[in-house]
Chain A
Amino acid sequence: MLSKELVAASTEPVILSLLSGGESYGYALIQEVKRLSGDKIEWTDGMIYPVLHRMENEGWIASRWGQAENGRKRKYYSLKKDGKKALERQREQWVTVSGVFKQLWKEQYV
């Protein structure tokens, strides 16, 4: 399990990255993260929606109501231009951090 702080810090860039692959909805985003992290990142389900709404207010993502395959209503989110820019900014930071770790831990683990 990830620490609370790390989850909080990584939620936005993770959502932005997921949406850069096409529009999606809350439930699918959570499932996707769970799968990609090998069940290690488990967001509290309710928490993703406030984050999505905040990012929408920020003008990073857009939302629309659509219909799911099972006929139910569903709110889809997609990346906007500002969101792409935000993702690029955050990506640079994460790449820097992971680059540092890679160099520091190379000797110990390889």
Chain B
Amino acid sequence: MFNLDKAIAEWRRQMLAAGIKSPVPLEELEIHLRDEIEQQTKSGLSETEAFKTAIQKIGQAHVVQNEFKKVEERMGSRDCKLLKTLVVVLTSLIALGMGCMVLFKTGFVIKIMLGMGLGFELPVVLLALVKSGVLNYEKLVSLRRYVIVWNLILGALLTTPEIVTQVITAVALQALYEVSARIAWYWERQENKAQKS
């Protein structure tokens, strides 16, 4: 004897195996399936036949999953845009802070605190950009020479106008940059390995 609920449970399992993980689409698909079966049985088909045609019409699990994946990818690209805006906002805030500091000749302690805070934020921003695909190891390396100049300028602005502290700050910032680049390199290698296997 054909058991509809059992058959639907089995179909759900197959869809899950194909990768439709989020419960909402699957639930929606199941409701659709039940609607279709109901309609078919009304027009005279047996439940077994109705179930067979219904799952055929809904499409193969991996094909449907592919379509859902495309939706997720698009969402991903939107997240990336959000990240870009975030970076732009962050950098303009930094520039604004700098301008204020220069104008009002802020004290050394405030400056160094702000400098360290922003400096240690740098790897987070950089690696977020790497993850979202805006930057990669190669780009980070090619940007290095500009970053060195920029770090020296930052060093001058963030510390007392004296060469030793300037260089120390610049070196610290550069080290953070190098660490970020190294992590990006490591991620890429991992990804390549995963793709090969």
Contacts and interface: CB of A to CB of B under 8 A. Distances in A.
Contact of B67 (A50, A70, A74): A50
Contact of B36 (A44, A45, A57, A74): A45
Contact of A53 (B25, B54, B58): B25
B147 interface: no
Contact of B28 (A26, A57, A70): A26
Interface string A31-73: 0000000000000111101110110010000000000001011
Given A26-B32, A27-B35, A54 B59 contact: no
A75 interface: yes
B63 interface: yes
Contacts of B58: 44-46
Contacts of A54: 70-71, 74
B156 to A, nearest CB: 46
B70 A47 contact: no
Given A26-B28, A27-B35, A50 B59 contact: no
A26 B28 CA distance: 8
B68 interface: yes
A49 B28 contact: yes
Given A26-B28, A27-B35, A50 B74 contact: no
B114 interface: no
B81 to A, nearest CB: 13
A71 to B, nearest CB: 12
B102 to A, nearest CB: 42
B31 interface: yes
Contacts of A50: 25, 64, 67-68, 70-71
A23 to B, nearest CB: 15
A44 B59 contact: yes
B193 interface: no
Nearest to B57: A45
B75 interface: yes
B32 A27 contact: yes
A23 B139 CA distance: 48
B67 A47 contact: yes
Contacts of B70: 50, 54
B59 A46 contact: yes
B34 A49 contact: no
A73 B35 CA distance: 11
8 A-B pairs closest in CB distance: A50-B67, A46-B59, A46-B64, A46-B58, A27-B35, A45-B58, A44-B59, A54-B71
13 contacts: A27-B32, A44-B58, A44-B63, A45-B57, A45-B58, A45-B59, A46-B29, A49-B68, A50-B68, A53-B71, A72-B31, A73-B31, A75-B31
Interface of A: 26-27, 44-47, 49-51, 53-54, 57, 70, 72-75
